[in-house]
Amino acid sequence: MTDRDDFTTDGKGRRGDGGKQAGKAAASVDVAAGGAEQAESAERDEAVAEDKAAERAARRQRNRAEREARQAANREARAARKGDAAAHPAPVQFRPAWPGKPRTLSAPAASTPFNILAIGQSGRLEREAVLLAASLRHSAAGFAGRLIVAEPQPSGAWETRDVRMSPASREALQALGADIVPLHAREFGRAYPHGNKIEALSLLPAGEPFLFLDSDTVVTGALDRVQFDFARPTASMRREGTWPEPPLYGPGYEGIWRSLYDRFGLDFASSLDPAQPDEHWERYLYFNAGWFSGPDPAEFGRRFLDWSREVRNDPGEALATQELVPWLDQVVLPLVVHSLGGGRPGPELAGMDGDVTWHYRRLPLLYASGPDSAVETVEALARLPELAPVMADWDAWQQLVVAGNGRRLVRPLFDRDRLPKREQAIRQTLRANSLWFD
């Protein structure tokens, strides 16, 4: 039997021998208990990891099955369309490029009619949207689909700012045949304006092929005759290696991209470009979100929105050092395209970002690096009276297009056969010559 005095302290507050022995016994119990807790924690972590791995494997299997079923259905649909077109050739009625009598044209070479989505909001974007609509009617008069311009409303995620277009822009767009549809953004809005394109996909007719175009795009050729295979989603390859920026001690490009494919149950290996070396950014599927296409905006938009929200809210360990603003849409876009059986565009789409469309980004960049066809199209449109009220207060337009400084001062500064690899260098040259206008 142990005396209570064994647990008393001496005059200096130290435990006696009995206290030391009891303390050692208690410490042994604590160590044992701690070891048991660590073992239990490790078992729980292992179980969670196994559950996540099983969930990813199941999601990958479901995605593969969905993709194979969708591809089979698309092949049957294409075969049926070809048979129907051969059996029932007919002329097609199109809206005129400008007010006047409708024209009856032979059916366009494009295999499937499609709708175009763009964003229009106050300021530069509304003027660019008008220019896009005018260039579409000017260069692709046979376009038979709808041009849908999504206009963010002062509600939801845009509640603190009214970015609706001016009456002049709305009138011009409608005169050019565009359909203006209100966009009530719920997820991104003012915090991430690039997210407008993600949420606006829900405004398009479900089940109808679509093409998204950034507002700062000019149509320079017969867009209605481009041979899109809408069953195979794709997007713009006119991009730079802007994302990710792998940290010094890892993970690298592969680790970062693989983590995203694994997260959504996608096959990573089939997304790679084997012609590019390991850890070179072009080896990994990465697009510019300036244009992208697909067969069904409803399903495309659902995945785009859900996965963008998930990555934004919980980037994960591999993305811990990565900036997601303003790159979030371009981070998730390759995942959506790949999940729907798509990939890099083929040679039949070479006209996109080429001699059919040009994503100029800013008017000074149009004159600095754009092809002659893009410059000539914009200057031809400048003569249209429909554009004058919209462009009257746009300084870049007045200085570069109307006053002629784009062709006279900007264009001679650059050799378009030897442009800098990075767009930032072009912008710096323009600013140094006081030729940068927003």
Percentage of the residues of the chain whose pLDDT score is greater than 90 = 74
CA distance 206 to 297: 6
pLDDT above 90 for 341: yes
CA distance 213 to 218: 9
In sequence order, the β-bridge partners of residue 414 are none
242-to-52, 180, 229, 328 alpha-carbon distances in Å = 30, 32, 28, 11
In sequence order, the β-bridge partners of residue 180 are 149
pLDDT above 60 for 271: yes
Position 112 confidence tier, pLDDT thresholds 50, 70, 90: confident
Position 36 confidence tier, pLDDT thresholds 50, 70, 90: low
199-to-33, 147, 213, 237, 308 alpha-carbon distances in Å = 52, 17, 14, 22, 11
Predicted pLDDT at 89: 41
Sign of CA dihedral 141, 142, 144, 147: negative
Predicted pLDDT at 39: 56
Least confident residue range of 34-38, 190-194, 314-318, 370-374: 34-38
CA distance 166 to 295: 32
Structure tokens, 398 = 């007045």
Greater model confidence, 36 or 329? 329
pLDDT above 50 for 25: no
Position 22 confidence tier, pLDDT thresholds 50, 70, 90: very low
* Residue type, position 94, single letter: F
pLDDT above 50 for 4: no
> Where along the chain do the CATH 3.90.550 domains lie?
90-359
Position 66 confidence tier, pLDDT thresholds 50, 70, 90: low
Predicted pLDDT at 9: 36
Predicted pLDDT at 418: 95
Greater model confidence, 14 or 268? 268
Token pair 């206008």 in the structure block, residue? 437
CA distance 401 to 126: 17
CA distance 239 to 422: 10
Alpha-helix residue ranges (DSSP H) falling in 88-176: 124-139, 167-175
Predicted pLDDT at 367: 98
Predicted pLDDT at 83: 52
What fold does the segment set 90-359 form as a domain?
A: Spore Coat Polysaccharide Biosynthesis Protein SpsA; Chain A (3.90.550)
Q: What is the mean pLDDT of residues 242-270?
A: 97
Instruction: Label residue 21 exposed, middle or buried (CB < 10 Å: 0-12, 13-18, 19+).
Output: middle
- Residue 423 neighbours by CB under 8 Å, 6+ apart: 240, 361, 365, 369
Q: Residue 140: name the closest of 175, 105, 181 by CA.
A: 105
Count Cβ atoms below 10 Å from residue 12 Cβ, excluding itself: 5
Greater model confidence, 29 or 177? 177
CA distance 252 to 187: 30
Instruction: Label residue 182 exposed, middle or buried (CB < 10 Å: 0-12, 13-18, 19+).
Output: exposed
Burial letters for 290-299: b for 16+ Cβ neighbours within 10 Å, e otherwise?
bbbbbbbbeb
- Residue 151 neighbours by CB under 8 Å, 6+ apart: 119, 120, 121, 164, 165, 180, 181, 182, 183
Predicted pLDDT at 379: 98
CA distance 195 to 317: 23
Least confident residue range of 16-25, 153-162, 262-271: 16-25
Model confidence pLDDT, tens digit, residues 297-309: 999 999 999 999 9
Percentage of the residues of the chain whose pLDDT score is greater than 70 = 75
